[in-house]
Amino acid sequence: MATSTFGIPAAFGATQTTETDAAAVAIAVKASSGTLYTVEIDNTANSINSFVKIYDIASGGTTVGTNSPDVVLKAPASTKLTYHFSQGIAFGTAITLACLNTAGTAGTNGPASDVAVKLVYD
């Protein structure tokens, strides 16, 4: 798993974080409140659907498969797609993600191959 974060020189001062191997383990994207604007999911390496689950919980307090995600984004098999939230989605505590091959709250199995997830937030 590899995560890289950098500032975006834009009027709204956003940050971009890329997780190159999102899995069934909670990953801290932002450890404080923030607003999520864009999520790009690259699921081209998998022959089944993947689901990026985003939680408004600090990563240390997130139990994947037990805590309810605030946002679930489907990435169909063998695709790369981008979700845009023009008004943004506010997270009051933190922005934490996990990637699984089941939708909803339940499920603890991650995709067989790498799923890259890029987020833009402030």
d(CA 118, CA 102): 20
Burial 29-65 (b: 16+ CB within 10 A, else e): bbeeebbbbbbbbbbeebeebbbbbbbbbbbeebebe
pLDDT, tens digit (0-9, with 9 covering 90-100), for 2-55: 666 655 555 467 899 999 999 999 999 999 999 999 999 999 999 999 999 999
Which listed CATH number (1.10.20, 2.60.120, 2.30.30, 2.60.40) goes with 3-121?
Answer: 2.60.120
114 C-beta neighbours (distance < 10 Å), count: 19
Identify the residue whose tokens are 């845009």: 84
Strand-pair category, 34-42 with 80-91: antiparallel
pLDDT, tens digit (0-9, with 9 covering 90-100), for 75-112: 999 999 999 998 999 999 999 999 999 999 988 999 99
